[in-house]
């Protein structure tokens, strides 16, 4: 038995160390762009990838930086999926210069006009009914400066804090008033967790069928007619309240209009093996803070990064440097904070400041020389730098650091990778690449701060021996969104 236990432990250890290998990478290029094919072959030769692992798409010589959702499905997603059926064991894709890096918003309002009108009518009804419930709680007005749901949640948070200080009778009355907002399930949970009381909502006779309808239709991304026909939004209202029904209705209206349907093409390719998911907003990344999932060679999520930037020369430099460069203790790492807490910025900004500070501490403990800029100003250092993390200054590149071969730069800002190939843009990613960084993280469109990779998780994974792309996927919360990685997926920090 001891021998068997030892073998099991040995096998588990082997599984947990499934380092990404060259044969597990496929390169996606544009056969109609000579530079694209040249870069793909150069990378395959440099990293000893099998020639069969180069997937050649026909996207036109002038494919540009963006592609429509329809063309993405027909010209990228479908042929890549077909090619992967003939190549076993692929865990990572590398898209290269010549393949678009942005998917444009998908507006289907004209096509779905009848459903859109019904949904807008439903949303208007729910909004009025939510306002009626709030008026029973307080005469205070909702904030005009916030989106409706955010304003409602802020309002309810204050009312909830007040109710928590009152007696049991008041709390039961409060729960009876807000029950329509939270439905049969959430109101019971809320009463138990917030007040420590049992609260019995009226029984729902169709609870089983409600659950079935809700679970069947929640993952769907386009069946508005079926949702309306089968009463999905009313079901959501009964189970989880008017707030959840309003949110579901709002999200589908936004998806029909193309709002929040843009994405980085690489991030969308991560979802290639998922049959059904919403294109509105983002999808959870199964690798986020999950080493076991990351090391699983049969995981559904594909890791995807890009060899791209302002020209073929820079891209081939990235490939060469990443394959040869070794890091040693003592090299400079620079961290640029926002001083968010003292500036009174929102909690998310304070949190990301702390993440950058933690990343600095991780590098310091590994023997690296660290420089931290603690004010709201950008660092004016011209030090030689092998790792940089900072923010913000969107669209106004102003970095004097000298990036050494094989360096990594992560600047948190909106639209940092929106002009990835431009030699004249003031955005951050192309300029970091021009100035010597060999790996950068950025966003092709507005990302929302909490969707950006967490710097301390990224740093920790790199210094624990993970490859660049593995560290990226371990540290980013979402896929099917706007964030992308430029660099060699096999790049590692070595000590």
DSSP 199-234: --PPP-TTHHHHHHHHHHHTT-SS-HHHHHHTTHHH
Boundaries of every domain in the chain: 19-105+265-486, 113-257
What's the pLDDT score for residue 4? 44
Secondary element (H or E) of residue 462: helix 455-463
What pTM was computed for the model? 0.90
At 277 the pLDDT is 86
Instruction: Return the C-alpha torsion angle 468, 85, 88, 278, nearest 10.
Output: 40
CA distance 457 to 472: 9
Question: How is residue 121 written in tokens?
Answer: 């009518």
* Cβ 63 vs Cβ 99: under 8 Å: yes
CB 439 within 8 A of CB 491: yes
- The answer to whether 428 touches 442, Cβ cutoff 8 Å, is yes
Are 366 and 333 in contact by the 8 Å Cβ rule? The answer is no
* CA distances in angstroms from 346 to 37, 155, 339, listed in the order given: 45, 18, 12
Q: Rounded to whole angstroms, how far apart are CA atoms 189 and 374?
A: 42
Q: Taking the CA atoms of 428, 429, 431 and 435 in sequence, report the sign of the dihedral they define.
A: positive
Q: What does the pLDDT read at residue 325?
A: 66
164 neighbors 194 (Cβ within 8 angstroms): yes
Backbone angles phi, psi at 405, to 5 degrees: -55, 135
Contact criterion met (CB below 8 Å) for 389 and 455: yes
Tokens of 141: 């007005």
Distance CA 68, CA 59 (A): 12
- Which pLDDT does position 329 carry in this prediction? 67
Determine the pLDDT at residue 212. Answer: 80
Q: Can you give the pLDDT at residue 121? A: 98
Residue 22 DSSP one-character state? G
Please list the ranges in the chain whose pLDDT falls under 70: 1-17, 201-208, 219-222, 325-329, 494-495
What pLDDT does residue 326 have?
65
Rama region for 446: left / alpha / beta (φ>0; ψ in -120 to 50; rest): beta
Cα gap 390→159, rounded to integer Å: 38
Determine the pLDDT at residue 220: 59
**pLDDT recorded at residue 198:** 81
H-helix or E-strand containing 172? helix 168-190
Please write the tens of the pLDDT for every residue from 62-92. 999 999 999 999 999 999 999 999 999 999 9
What does the alpha-carbon distance between residue 38 and residue 64 come to, in Å, rounded to a whole number?
17
Q: What pLDDT shows up at residue 291?
A: 95
What burial class does residue 434 get, using C-beta atoms within 10 Å of its C-beta: 0-12 exposed, 13-18 middle, 19+ buried?
middle
415 phi, psi to nearest 5 deg: 60, 25
What is the DSSP code (8-state) at residue 194? I
pLDDT in tens, 434-472: 999 999 999 999 889 999 999 999 999 999 999 999 999
Name residue 94's beta-bridge partners: 27, 305
């Amino acid at each position: 038995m001891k021998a068997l236990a030892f073998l099991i432990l040995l096998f588990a250890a082997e599984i947990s160390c499934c380092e990404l290998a060259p044969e597990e990478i496929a390169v996606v290029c544009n056969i109609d762009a000579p530079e694209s094919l040249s870069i793909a072959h150069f990378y395959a030769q440099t990293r000893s990838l099998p020639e069969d692992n180069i997937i050649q798409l026909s996207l036109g010589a002038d494919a540009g930086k963006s592609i429509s959702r329809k063309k993405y499905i027909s010209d990228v997603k479908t042929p890549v999926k077909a090619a992967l059926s003939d190549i076993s064991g692929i865990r990572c894709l590398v898209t290269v210069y010549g393949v678009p890096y942005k998917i444009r918003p998908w507006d289907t309002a004209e096509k779905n006009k009848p459903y859109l009108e019904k949904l807008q009518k439903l949303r208007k009804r729910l909004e009025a009914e939510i306002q009626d419930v709030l008026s029973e709680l307080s005469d205070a007005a909702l904030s005009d400066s916030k989106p409706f749901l955010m304003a409602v949640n802020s309002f309810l948070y204050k009312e909830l804090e007040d109710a928590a200080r009152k007696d049991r009778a008041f709390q039961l009355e409060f729960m009876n008033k807000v029950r329509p907002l939270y439905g049969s399930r959430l109101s019971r949970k809320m009463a138990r967790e917030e007040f420590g009381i049992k609260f019995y909502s009226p029984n729902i006779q169709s609870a089983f069928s409600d659950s079935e309808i809700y679970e069947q239709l929640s993952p769907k991304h386009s069946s508005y007619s079926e949702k309306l026909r089968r009463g999905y939004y009313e079901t959501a209202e009964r189970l989880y309240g008017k707030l959840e029904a309003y949110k579901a209705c709002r999200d589908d209206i936004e998806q029909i209009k193309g709002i929040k349907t843009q994405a980085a093409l690489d991030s969308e390719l991560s979802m290639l093996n998922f049959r059904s998911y919403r294109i509105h907003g983002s999808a959870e990344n199964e690798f986020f803070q999950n080493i076991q999932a990351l090391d699983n060679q049969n995981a559904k999520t594909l890791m995807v990064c890009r060899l791209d930037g302002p020209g073929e020369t820079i891209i081939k430099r990235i490939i060469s440097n990443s394959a040869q460069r070794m890091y040693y203790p003592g090299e400079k790492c620079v961290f640029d904070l926002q001083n968010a807490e003292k500036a009174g910025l929102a909690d998310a900004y304070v949190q990301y400041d702390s993440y950058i500070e933690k990343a600095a501490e991780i590098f310091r403990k590994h023997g690296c020389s660290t420089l931290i800029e603690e004010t709201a100003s950008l660092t004016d250092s011209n030090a030689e730098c092998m790792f940089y993390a900072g923010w913000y200054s969107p669209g106004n590149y102003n970095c004097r650091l000298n990036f050494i071969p094989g360096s990594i730069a992560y600047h948190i800002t909106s639209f940092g990778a929106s002009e990835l190939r431009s030699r004249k843009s003031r955005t951050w990613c192309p300029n970091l690449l021009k100035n010597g960084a060999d790996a950068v993280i950025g966003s092709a469109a507005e990302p929302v701060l909490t969707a950006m990779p967490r710097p301390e998780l990224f740093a920790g994974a790199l210094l624990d021996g993970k490859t660049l792309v593995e560290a990226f996927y371990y540290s980013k919360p979402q896929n099917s969104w706007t964030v992308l990685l430029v660099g060699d997926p096999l790049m590692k920090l070595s000590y």
